[in-house]
Structure 1
Amino acid sequence: MAAAAVVQKEAEVIPWELFQQKMTKAGLSQAAQDAFKMNYEQLVAGVTGLVPDSEIDPVQQLPRLDDLHAGESADLKDLLRQTAVLKLNGGLGTSMGLEKAKSLLEVKNGKTFLDLIAEQVKHTRQKFGSKVRFVLMNSFSTSDDTKAYLRKSHGDLLDETDVELMQNMSCKVDAATLKPAQYPANPELEWCPPGHGDIYPSLLGSGMLDRLIADGITYLFVSNSDNLGATLDLDLLAYFARTDKGFLMEVCERQASDKKGGHLARRKADGRLMLRESAMCPDSDKDKFEDIGLHKFFNTNNLWVNLRKLKATLDASGGALRLPLIKNKKTVNPRDSSTEPVFQLETAMGSAIECFDDADAVVVPRSRFAPVKTCNDLFALRSDAYRVTEESTVVLAAAAPPLIKLDDKHYKLVDQLESLAPSVPSLIACTSLTVKGPVRFEGGVAIRGDVTLTNGSGKPVGVRTRTFDSVELDLSQDS
């Protein structure tokens, strides 16, 4: 679609220039505008994105990280010199009640996600004498807080070149007119995040992609900042370099708890790997979608990208990857359901697997997929079921991860958790812990086996210096 072209919705003509002018005024790069235009064209065309099972083949066999051992024969110092680690750091953790960058949340031994990530990078540099590059992809919501924290705690990293890649903004689209959404009461709410698929136009439009390539950086490892399992694995790096793939996705085997989530597949039409999310599955194929024996693997969002091949792929596609559209319908003010309905157009970075001729995937242990999405995850992570290594990685110390189910009414938000769990109990021998009602863990508590603690009184009941061993207990009645 040319810059002056129009798109048609029924009898109404909607000028593309309205979006173009708004984005140009906001200072968005041409790459960001091209990516939004591609999403917008899919919206106007009514692209459903549905992918029935008849159009895909299941992926049954993939190489496994445990079998690679590629790092044993590689020149790791040289490879690391050609590598950048990029952490997605645009989230605020609002679902956990946070109002700052989620990576600044204290997770273990007084350290934040960002502390552990920074220390991992510095340890790798020191051990191998090779300066692997470090990049944070921030949003306008997280940039200031993150840089202030780095300045205080890791100023040496902040002083480096191209530490920050800034996420773009995306226009909200009026659902009725398909024009740019208007909200004069707070114009900032006319914009939304574009999803982590924005990493590609952000790299291109900021000039960072060209600068990294010019500096000799070929391999980019990308992962979420809240996934402490996503460390720079040297066997994976060596394998990625040796096979000369353009794109490599880390996947895990789906378990029963993963059946509602997306899966990896191979498209019959062109033989390319692709991701199919639940919204892309027709209702008639839901049973097959949830069959974890048929569709065995899910995306961890740990990705490896060959920057030279990314550049060539972007050039060949006119500067924007054609990623499947994620259309979210909301109101322009998400806190006011009476305001105008809008579409927020997003993309997912893992979807780029279908944009590369030579993309591949590798099966990794579940330990490389350990995101902290809820206070249940945080509660377990802060316990002795996990420990921090000399390399500043977080590893499981227990025989298996404890299954934690805290009462959402009392533990959903971080400040609630910290009020009721000022001292996280020992969970190294815990199989599962279920808490119903407000129970305050005050120190010296150990949970062993499968334990359920109930407090129906509505008022917090404190426990301290006590071991609960495979028991179901009503603390409001317990003396």
Structure 2
Amino acid sequence: MFNITEFWLFLFQISRKDFEGFKKLFHRFLQVKGPSVDWPKISRPPEESIQPYDRIKAKGLPDNITVSLNKLAVVKLNGGLGTSMGCKGPKSLISVRNENTFLDLTVQQIEHLNKTFNADVPLVLMNSFNTDEDTKKILQKYKHHRVNIHTFNQSRYPRINKESLLPIAKSMGTSGENSEAWYPPGHGDIYASFHNSGLLDKLIAEGKEYIFVSNIDNLGATVDLFILNHLMSQPADKRCEFIMEVTDKTRADVKGGTLIRYEDHLRLLEIAQVPKAHVDEFKSVTKFKIFNTNNLWISLPAIKRLQEKNSMDLEIIVNPKTLDGGLNVIQLETAVGAAIKSFNNAMGVNVPRSRFLPVKTTSDLLLVMSNLYSLDAGSLTMSKKREFPTTPHVKLGSSFTKVQEFLARFESIPDMLELDHLTVSGDVTFGKNVSLKGTVIIIANHGDRIDIPAGAMLENKIVSGNLRILDH
């Protein structure tokens, strides 16, 4: 292992920019003690700082929205792997609907926008060292689409031994015994990496003024023309430099970051920053009614100004991990939304829940593959046949965790238009043309198996025990 001097010399080999970034983050980590917020100083944001979406939509659109679109670039956060869903490679390459991947749907959305409005909205992918190579190979297939695609890489930082606070890397490599030694430091790294890559300056030179940033696995995060128009129609001296899309919390979102007023600034508060004594209060749906969707609209000249002045202060998120061999490590991360306090005239927009449709698990995947949604030009919209605007609550057990296992358990995706709640646990399979309505709970105990027969209609049913359907 290294001593501290060898550590810095070793890090310096990564790249000067990564080295400087990690050094700054690590020094701040050593200096900060306790939670980064003083709880009594927290208050609700003033009403005017979070606008309802309907008020922004009511302004309508100008005839020349193409002018505004030509000042926009779409940035997708593409650093994540599909390992939590049992897939190798970038998560963006998982098929989510009709053989279309997250990346396919994104390209289709932007191409449709460019064709419809005769615009030039480029797509920018922020890759990590985990996803860059595989993503670039796939990009060849979009050569003839009407979308200019750019990529840049976020930083690569070393994981730190929790006890010694020294890096666990043995060399610069990212394979073999070193495969778990490095990590991409969260999406807050976008500002420095975007600036360092030269792409920020390139887009500004091309006349781009704003980026719309979102997670690539959020299928609800499409370019919204009303929010874009709101940004572009502000007086130059009062131009809003940062919009965070927020939406109303449900019980499923209690851990999501929320907007607060803190020392006269709008600020993002994440659960990791909350003192333990106040975690239940933070999760309260009555006190903190909204959460951050991570759909963000950010001024490019403002990013350049803040980076050049080195004045973007992002709170450190200490993410503890246990590696396969049992070693406890920490990785220091930052969140892209935490920068809201650094931008002028920043605000939140309370958007419909439909703009937050993340696919983190196969339970989410079941929803977006079902007839609850229709697909048009890469965008998913809730079926008009669904009577309720909310999605059903779906909870699939561990037998469904991996995508391949999940797909093998459905001969076809069930009709879910009238479903409210679905819980499935154990060894369960679904035949073709199954229909689920109301609340359906299917529990196969250990050693049992349940085959839901083709054409079955389950409405407000609990199914348990053993139900085998054998070919004969």
Give the alignment's TM-score, normalised by structure 2.
Answer: 0.90
Partner residue of 1:169 out of 156, 161, 168: 156
The change in CA–CA distance for 1:34 and 1:406 in structure 2 (over 3 A counts) is same
Matched with 2:250 is 255
Match of 2:112 among 123, 136, 156: 123
Aligned partner of 1:48 among 34, 37, 50: 34
How far has the Cα of 1:348 moved from its partner?
0.7
2:199 aligned partner: 208
2:247 touches 2:292 (CA, 8 Å); kept in 1?
yes
Matches within 5 A, 1:273-288: 273-288=266-281
Aligned residue number for residue 266 of structure 1: 261
Matches within 5 A, 1:19-168: 19=8, 21-26=9-14, 28-30=15-17, 32-59=18-45, 61=47, 62-69=50-57, 70-73=59-62, 75-152=64-141, 154-156=142-144, 160=148, 163-168=150-155
> How far has the Cα of 1:235 moved from its partner?
0.4
1:234 equivalent to 2:225? Answer: yes
Residue by residue over 1:338-397, the C-alpha shift from the partner in whole angstroms, topping out at 9 and shown as x without a partner, is x4x4321111111111222322111111111110011101011111111112x3210111
The answer to whether the Cα contact below 8 Å between 2:111 and 2:147 also exists between their aligned partners in 1 is: no
Aligned pair partner of 1:393 in 344, 357, 379: 379
Is 2:197 the partner of 1:196?
A: no
The aligned counterpart of 2:420 is: 431
2:365 pairs with 1:378: yes
Distance 1:415 1:314 in 2: 43
RMSD, aligned α-carbons: 2.3
- Give the equivalent residue in structure 2 for 1:8: none
Query: Secondary structure at the residue paired with 1:73?
Result: coil
Unaligned runs of 5+ in 2: none
Cα distance in structure 2, aligned partners of 1:74 and 1:45: 53
**1:309-330, CA deviations, whole angstroms, 9 ceiling, x for partnerless residues?**
1111122226xx2210111233
Does the aligned pair in 1 maintain the 2:435–2:456 contact within 8 Å? yes
Q: CA deviation at 1:478?
A: 8.6
Q: Which runs of 5+ in 1 are unaligned?
A: 1-12
1:413-433 CA-partner distances (Å, limit 9, x unpaired):
111101111311111121122
Structure-2 change in CA distance of 1:207 and 1:156 (3 Å): same
Q: How many residues align?
A: 452
82-91 vs 47-56, greater mean Cα deviation? 47-56
SS in 2 for 1:471: strand
Q: Which moved more, 1:256-265 or 1:196-205?
A: 256-265
| Residue number among 143, 164, 170 corresponding to 1:183 in the alignment | 170
Q: Distance in 2 between matches of 1:74 and 1:49?
A: 49
Rounded to whole Å, the distance in 1 between the matches of 2:468 and 2:122 is 56
Distance in 1 (CA, whole Å) between partners of 2:182 and 2:114 is: 39
Q: Verify the 8 A CA contact 1:101 1:145 in the aligned structure 2.
A: yes
Tell me if the contact between 2:110 and 2:147 (Cα under 8 Å) persists in the aligned partners.
no
Partner Cα distance (1:302, 1:163) in 2: 19
Q: Distance in 1 between matches of 2:257 and 2:105?
A: 29
SS at match of 2:449: coil
Aligned to 2:397: 407
Whether 1:451 and 2:440 are equivalent positions in the alignment is yes
Change in CA separation of 1:285 and 1:474 when aligned onto 2, cut-off 3 Å = closer
SS of corresponding position for 2:318: strand
Contact 2:162 2:330 in 1 (8 A): yes
Tell me the distance in 1 between the aligned counterparts of 2:82 and 2:46: 35
Tell me the distance in 1 between the aligned counterparts of 2:361 and 2:154: 24
Preserved contact between residue 273 and residue 354 of structure 1 (Cα < 8 Å): yes
Question: Which residue of structure 2 lines up, in the alignment, with residue 355 of structure 1?
Answer: 342
